[in-house]
Amino acid sequence: MAKGLDVMLLRAFVTTVKAGSISRAASALKHTQPGVSQQLRRLEQAIGQPLLHRASTGVSLTRAGETLLPYAERIIALSAQALRSTNEALTGHCGIGILEDLAVARVPQLLADFARLHPEVTLEVMILSGPRMHEAMTEGRIMLALTDVGYLSQPPRWLARHPLVWVSGPGMDLHADPLPLVLFSQPCRWRSSLLQALDQAGRAWRVAFESTGLAGVQAAVRAGLGVSAFLSANVGPDLTIVSAPHLLPPLPDIEIGLVRRPGTQGDLLVDAVETALQAMMR
């Protein structure tokens, strides 16, 4: 078992994955290709198994690489924050507006990591629907909003694309006609994308259950009331991702964007929180 993971080796790994090839990663890191290859081999030796499939067309992740990638990204982000925190002590309060779908799966670890680095900071996470994000930001209750770009009233500072997946519970009959659906109550922009995909595929459907919250939707799917669509991070161990194109049509990716309240430029706390959120969404 590895005693520790070198951040430099992890950075070579993450850069190679994002670049798609060792040669492009070497250019981005301003290293030689053999040097990056050696770093990757050292990391694989530390982990104890291959992390990348290497081919003439580029690289792809092994199962071990898929497992390591989010941890590597978090370690790199935490390392950068730790270096900054030695030179500047952050204090104060920062409100963040986030869609429930993101908050449930990703935010708890972000809060824990940030609190360890900046114990004098208070983060307040507000679970808000898209339409309420603008109102909360105008009132000064939140400094940052992370939400579906369709709800944003100004261009986002950055974007992250995440796929929607079909999800079902035990014993669900995917051949049911019409197909029973478990949906988020209006307003929900993802709902229309789901229904449009079914209509275009000629699949009859009916709304069997609706809820304003993720927990309610998950419980209904778990109980077998119908199928739904989630971000993959919200698919619990008792739910199943359905991959059956002949029964359920492909779903579009969701664009998540971040907007920052005007007047916060140069605020070190808001800068640090934005950096952490961006690393979380990669």
State the pLDDT at residue 1: 37
Checking if the pLDDT of 204 tops 90, the result is: yes
Same domain, 245 and 169: yes
- Residue 233: inside a domain, yes or no? yes
CA–CA distances in Å: residue 157 to residues 123, 136, 256 = 20, 18, 11
Checking if the pLDDT of 44 tops 50, the result is: yes
For the ranges 41-55, 146-160, 163-177, the lowest mean pLDDT is seen at 146-160
State the pLDDT at residue 80: 73
Quickly list DSSP for 112-179.
Answer: HHHHHH-TTEEEEEEE--HHHHHHHHHTTS-SEEEEEGGG-SS--SEEEEEEEEEEE-TT--TT-SSE
Summary mean pLDDT of the chain: 86
- Exposed/middle/buried for residue 108 (C-beta within 10 Å: 0-12, 13-18, 19+): exposed
State the pLDDT at residue 155: 84
Q: State which of 85, 114, 143 marks the end of a domain.
A: 85
| 96 within 8 A of 146, measured Cβ to Cβ | yes
Checking if the pLDDT of 171 tops 90, the result is: no
Q: Which two tokens stand for residue 52?
A: 């990348």
Same domain, 206 and 265: no
Same domain, 52 and 192: no
In the structure, what pLDDT confidence band is assigned to residue 179 with cuts at 50, 70 and 90?
very high
Q: Which two tokens stand for residue 47?
A: 């982990």
- Residue 260: inside a domain, yes or no? yes
- Residue 77: inside a domain, yes or no? yes
Q: Mean pLDDT across the stretch 182-196?
A: 84
Same domain, 183 and 240: yes
State the pLDDT at residue 81: 67
Coil vs helix vs strand at 259:
strand
Q: Mean pLDDT across the stretch 251-262?
A: 87
Q: Mean pLDDT across the stretch 142-159?
A: 82
With tokens 């029973």, the residue in question is 180
Checking if the pLDDT of 217 tops 60, the result is: yes
In the structure, what pLDDT confidence band is assigned to residue 2 with cuts at 50, 70 and 90?
very low
61 is in which domain, residue-wise? 7-85
Beta bridge partners of 240: 168
| 94 within 8 A of 273, measured Cβ to Cβ | yes
Same domain, 150 and 271: yes
| 241 within 8 A of 235, measured Cβ to Cβ | yes
Q: Work out how many domains the chain is built from and give that number.
A: 3
Q: Mean pLDDT across the stretch 153-174?
A: 87
- Residue 2: inside a domain, yes or no? no
Higher pLDDT, 43 or 100: 43
Q: Which residues contact 40 (CB under 8 A, 6 or more apart)?
A: 9, 12, 13, 16, 22, 51, 52
Would you say the pTM of this structure is higher than 0.75?
Answer: no
Query: For the domain that residue 227 is a member of, what is the CATH number?
Result: 3.40.190.10
- Residue 1: inside a domain, yes or no? no
Beta bridge partners of 46: none
Q: What is the pLDDT of residues 108-143, one digit of tens each?
A: 777 778 888 888 899 998 988 767 888 888 889 999
Q: Which two tokens stand for residue 256?
A: 């998540």
Q: What is the pLDDT of residues 58-115, one digit of tens each?
A: 999 999 999 999 999 888 888 776 666 555 678 899 999 988 777 666 677 777 788 8
Rounded Cα–Cα distance for residues 99 and 48 (Å): 38
Q: Mean pLDDT across the stretch 175-184?
A: 93
Checking if the pLDDT of 20 tops 70, the result is: yes
Same domain, 130 and 261: yes
Same domain, 106 and 218: no
Query: Helices 7-19 and 63-85: crossing angle, nearest 10°?
Result: 120
